[in-house]
Every structure is written in structure tokens, then in C-alpha cells.
Amino acid sequence: MERHPDIEIYIKRVPLADLLQWLDQRFTVGEQQEAGETLRLQLKREGKPLTCTIYENAAKGGYTSVMFEPNHTPWDNDEACAAEAFEVFQLEVRCITGGWSNSSPSEGGWYRFTENGRSVVNWLT
């Protein structure tokens, strides 16, 4: 499976404190910058720097966007990250079904992780 150049997932109604705790367990968290509903974190993993951008209420229904760039994360792709986030938070998580190079979010093709497992949905953010 190809490693995505960045990772983006959407978590439904996740408390920011819980999200920050999860990130603190996976990365070394450095500088934080707030701008409105956006929080930008400077992270490191295995000595490699990356940025995590958290945008609360990014989509209808109370979804928080969590984006990592570049992908110096423990996950190869959005799906792997979303699966872990669901396991940790037990909240609905969504991500695109393919990489940005071969899929357009506006065309549908989103994975939805819930207590019923993973399914594919069409979703306009």
C-alpha cells in the first residue's frame, strides 16, 4: 500500500482535550498556534518534524478535521489513522477512500468508521 504524503481525518464531536491527549501519546508536541477555530501544532516523531492542523466544526454535524503534513506519522494512509482514531475515541470518524492523487472528496468515496464497522459513504463536506 502506498504511503500518503499527508493524512486528514474527520472526527465527530471529539473534545479538543481528548484529541490533544491522543496526539501527546503519539508525538512530541511543540509549539501551538491558535487562529479562530484552527489550532496548529508543531509535532515530532522519531526526530522528524510535521504540522498538525486541527479545525473544529470543519463540516456539518460537528466534525473536527485533523490534518498531518508531511506524513511523518505512524500511519501509511488516512484509513489507518481513522481506524485508530475510532478505536481510541469510539466516535464516528471519516476519511477519503483513496489518496488525493486518484480521488476527489467532492466525488464521494469516504470511509465512515462507527460501532458497526467501516462502510463507504458519499459525503459532501
Burial class (CB in 10 A: 0-12, 13-18, 19+), 101: exposed
Contact 42, 31 (CB under 8 A): yes
| In 70-107, beta strands by DSSP E | 93-96
How much is the pLDDT for 105?
Answer: 47
Q: Domain locations in the chain?
A: 7-121
Q: What is the per-residue pLDDT for 74? A: 97
Of 1, 2, 3, nearest in space to 68 by CA: 3
30-80 pLDDT, tens per residue?
999 999 889 999 999 999 999 999 999 999 999 999 999 999 999 999 999
Q: State which amino acid sits at residue 3.
A: R
Tell me the fold of 7-121.
TATA-Binding Protein (3.30.310)
Q: What is the pLDDT of residues 74-101, one digit of tens each?
A: 999 999 999 999 999 999 999 999 765 5
Nearest to 14 by CA among 80, 82, 77: 82
